Structure 1
Amino acid sequence: MSSGSAGGAVPAPRWAVWAAWGTVLITLPSGLWRLGNALGLPWGYASARWDQDGLALIALSLLTTATAALSLGLVRPWGQTVPGWVPQLGGRVVPARPVVVVSSIGAVLLTLLWAQLFWWWTVEPVPSGVDPRWHTPVGFLYLPLVAWGPLLATVTWDYRRRRRASESV
């Protein structure tokens, strides 16, 4: 299940591939909940309906999952060499340093952002507009996001390790 080798690239270990896919999968529960609210399903918000708020919830869900999917580039060949079908850039080596810097910053920010979930879920009162009966279920849907930053950091560390190994060959 590890990625194939691109040029002199070192393939990702199985655990890193699983961790990268984990970053995508953990965004799905909260994203599906937001989509349900956008479509007017009574999943906790009294004012859920199809309008600008609904469009924002859909956009946020898609953006969250797409952003998480970028971590797959850390374990796939296209994260090390631009695919040949990309005009003018195909076949070029992706510079490792900017990838590691941006991914590391993302991991730190995600960790700081989602670590607050525990506070929101256990200490703060239920926000206005939220049905109190949904406070705990929604917390469980968002809880996987706490792992997003640490998973991304782990995959980033492995990407950096593998890129260094391929450069020294």
Structure 2
Amino acid sequence: MDVMRRWFRWSAYWPVWSGYAAAGGSALYGALGVFWAMGGGGFPFAPVEDDRASGSILEGSQAGAVAPVMAVVGLIGAVAALAMTRRWGRNGVRRALLGFGWGLAGLLVLIIPDFSLLAVIAFSPLLLVFAFTGVPGPQEGIGDILYWHRTNLIILFVIGVLWALTTLAYQRRTRQVCAHCGRGEATIARWTTPEAARRWGRWAVYVACAAPVPYEITRIAWYAGIPLGITDDFLRMMRETPGMLEVGLGCALASIGGAVLTQGLIRPWGEIYPRWIWFRAGRRVPPALAVVPATLVALAAIPAGFMNLRMSFDAGLGESWGLNAPGMLWIFWGAGLGLAAYAYALRRRGSCRHCRTPARVRHEEGQVRPFTTSA
């Protein structure tokens, strides 16, 4: 617990270190872009065999076309991230930096990745075991699962998250509000009050729980021998491939378990540990313990949904709609889960330890203002 507590304390200063981390990541890929443009090996989107290819939108592209763009964007990004950290720019320059930052974050987090991070999250316990016992089956090791084309997408995702944090901190600082909580002397919108967040957050939870249901039904049906959304030949192929049906069933069960945990964002046991967690029963659940994992899964689900959307258009649905169509709904799963986590954070947030803005609010003319000592 002490290690976790120190981590949370360090992560609370994200407006300070995220900009430098984003600049470092952008500079690294800018330099790699130059290297790949000059013919260097290891270009992560180069055409490879199907069993080593990723589902990225850039998969199969040529280094001569993509690497120079990576070099330019990466090196410009390093300068822009440092400028945001130093709070440079006003008016038009500020808008340009914000547009660049949010655009790059969206590209790296939502558009370029595939399902890799979502798969790593779902199978992280098994991957931890495999690191010590080896991977069963024909694979030679973890490297056959986290190969470079796939690992590169996870790294780009992390850099994209850093860019989102950098841009958010810059946007708040240049608005003269607290970079940590976004609150200040300005009025607070009514929809961010705990009462409003509880209402719309409940609907977000319902969407997040309902969107993966078609995926869960199809994978459980396949395991039971029912070719729902696929051909008989494809089901026969999965039966003959060791572990393939079991992996699908495991993903479905993990999704169902995630839906149960998502309910905690609107249930009392999501705020106070219930009796069945005997070693913490009755204690307050730290908000970050729910918000951070939910946000991470939400961000990972959306690009996985876009990947299934692209693959559906490429292959056509037809009688094999069960392969990709259920995964298209992950876009709504991620969006709903992200909004539910945000609503939970709004309800649970207390006084900001950085700007000292209190948690209590009062309504004025349809808006909400924080209580102050002079109120």
Percent identical across equivalent pairs? 23
Q: TM-score, normalised by structure 1?
A: 0.77
Q: Is the 8 A contact 2:200 2:343 kept in 1?
A: no
- Indicate the residue corresponding to 1:34 in structure 2: 219
Secondary structure in 1 aligned to 2:207?
Answer: helix
For residues 125-165 of structure 1, give each alpha carbon's deviation from its aligned partner in whole angstroms, at most 9, with x where no partner exists.
Answer: 47xxxxx7423465443332221111111011111100015
Q: 1:9-158, aligned counterparts within 5 Å?
A: 13-43=198-228, 44=230, 45-47=234-236, 48-49=238-239, 52-123=243-314, 125=315, 133-136=318-321, 138-158=323-343
**How far did residue 99 of structure 1 move?**
2.2
Unaligned runs of 5+ in 1: 1-9, 127-131
2:300 alignment partner AA = L
Q: TM-score, normalised by structure 2?
A: 0.37
**Aligned partners of 2:256, 2:199: CA distance in 1, in Å?**
21
1:30 alignment partner AA = Y
- Name the CA shift for 1:141/1:155 in 2 (closer, same or farther; >3 Å): same
Q: Is the 8 A contact 1:39 1:54 kept in 2?
A: no
- Indicate the residue corresponding to 1:160 in structure 2: 345
Higher relative contact order, chain-length normalized (CA < 8 Å, sep 6+)? 1
- Name the CA shift for 1:136/1:164 in 2 (closer, same or farther; >3 Å): same
For residues 7-35 of structure 1, give each alpha carbon's deviation from its aligned partner in whole angstroms, at most 9, with x where no partner exists.
Answer: xxx67623322221221222111111111
Whichever of the two has the greater Rg, that structure is 2
Secondary structure in 2 aligned to 1:116?
Answer: helix
**Aligned partners of 1:42, 1:156: CA distance in 2, in Å?**
35
**How far did residue 38 of structure 1 move?**
1.2
Q: Is the 8 A contact 2:309 2:325 kept in 1?
A: no
**Aligned partners of 2:304, 2:227: CA distance in 1, in Å?**
26
Unaligned runs of 5+ in 2: 1-193, 352-357, 361-375
When the two structures are aligned, how many residues end up with a matched partner? 154
